[in-house]
Amino acid sequence: MTSNPLPRLHPLDGVAREDIRITDVKVTLLSYLLKPEEQWPDGDEHVVIWQTTTVLVQVYTDAGIVGFGGGSRYNGPEAMKRCAEAVVRPALLGKNPFDVEHLTADKCARGPRGIWAAVDAALWDIIGKAKGVPVYRLLATDCEPMTRIRVYASGGEYSWAPRSRFPGPDHLIEEALGYKAQGYTAFKFRLGAGFNRMGITMKQYIPYLERLRAAVGPDMDLIQEANCRLSVEQVLELAPALEELGFLWFEEPIAKRGEDAIDSYVRIKEALPTVKVSGAETTPNRQELAEWVDRGALDIVQHGSDDAGITEAWHMARMAAQQGILCCPHNWQCGAVTVANAHLMAGIPNAFLLESNMTPNPLKEGLFNEPFKVVDGYLQVPDLPGLGVTLREGLEEQYPYIPGHWNKMAWEVG
């Protein structure tokens, strides 16, 4: 990097360009088949998560530098790969990765175009390697990088169905204490499969929260995830209990799309004066986030590098920071996404906590040659050039792609 006495307005402001050209773009799909005891119900007892897939992009250059990035499987792995071959690769061949702002920023959308997020991360990996610095040092334009990131354990998958093969709500206490023993200081959990279908009331639910708080003590932060499954009325009934029990935040309590969504979130925020309200998970660009930020409808934004790419996510985080809103990236994919999110968080002024998916998935820690994992509830951002880690050889052979949606009806998986 060249010296620049003035504050940088953009991550590459004042950074000397290198003469590098993109020669190829490759998408690799990796999968892991969950063992029966590793599966979990997805919102409803009848729907089961049976496998997990990683969307991995590698961008090659004439300088011999190869960058990688991870995308969100929720955009459809096979469609994303087709988009990369038909659209992304032709658009990038011969281009300079240092033009990342023009090549990839604001191009992400839900669906196949979500592949641009992984491509963007790969370009940053190349840029960092070319300049010999970690990506986070390029992103931290006017703030001191935060390289030791507090991580919260994100789990709490269970079922309300009687005689289910999956754990029931009482399992939350055992799970939380297990994470506490590992050094985590925050735990996020869901409402449980079948919550609405089986007509679970807040009067039935709140005692479980009270027992959970009593078990983990006052020093462990608790986070309620609702996955947009509640009504405003249910939320307003639950809100006083979350306040009394000292929850850290309430995540996506109701639907986030629709004409009244932002108004409803503002109303919910008013009912939770000390418990933060989070949302904007999977938001792919500034345009979709802008009104939420301008209206002050959220205390925490949760877009991530796999939703928007590092460039756009950086802009979105800084837009939120201008309104005093924190950033906690959604991080439910693989290690390639986690390392990009870690660099993003290290380089923004409003980073709070990073999510760690606690469901079984060797693709979280098994992609890299270098150790990269949570230790005592914290993640150390790699300090080597680029994203600071390298991909292992033989990943396609070890984790061959499994076609089909990762959710199946229970009777399809046995």
Domain ranges in the chain are: 22-137+403-413, 141-392
pTM beyond 0.85 = yes
Q: What integer pLDDT is reported at residue 166 of this predicted model?
A: 93
Contacts for 246 with CB less than 8 Å, ≥ 6 apart: 213, 218, 222, 274
Helix (H) or strand (E) holding 129, with range, is: helix 115-131
Residue with tokens 């281009």: 95
Contacts for 171 with CB less than 8 Å, ≥ 6 apart: 158
Tell me what percent of the chain is helix, strand and coil, each rounded to the nearest 5: 35, 20, 45
Q: What integer pLDDT is reported at residue 357 of this predicted model?
A: 96
Q: What letter represents residue 299's amino acid?
A: D
CATH class of residue range 22-137+403-413: alpha beta
22-137+403-413 shares its CATH topology with 141-392: no
Rg (CA), the chain: 21
**106 φ, ψ (degrees, to nearest 5):** 70, 15
Whether 122 and 57 have beta carbons less than 8 Å apart is answered as: yes
Q: What integer pLDDT is reported at residue 414 of this predicted model?
A: 63
Q: Is 325 helix (H, G, I), strand (E, B) or coil?
A: coil
Q: CATH homologous superfamily of domain 141-392? A: Enolase-like C-terminal domain (3.20.20.120)
Q: Per-residue confidence of the chain (414 residues) as pLDDT tens digits? A: 444 456 788 899 999 999 999 999 999 999 999 999 999 998 766 889 999 999 999 999 999 999 999 999 999 999 999 999 999 999 999 999 999 999 999 899 999 999 999 999 999 999 999 999 999 999 999 899 999 999 999 999 999 998 889 999 999 999 999 999 999 999 999 999 999 999 999 999 999 999 999 999 999 999 999 999 999 999 999 999 999 999 999 999 999 998 899 999 999 999 999 999 999 999 999 999 999 999 999 999 999 999 999 999 999 999 999 999 999 999 999 999 999 999 999 999 999 999 999 999 999 999 999 999 999 999 999 999 999 999 999 999 999 999 998 888 877 876
Q: What integer pLDDT is reported at residue 2 of this predicted model?
A: 46
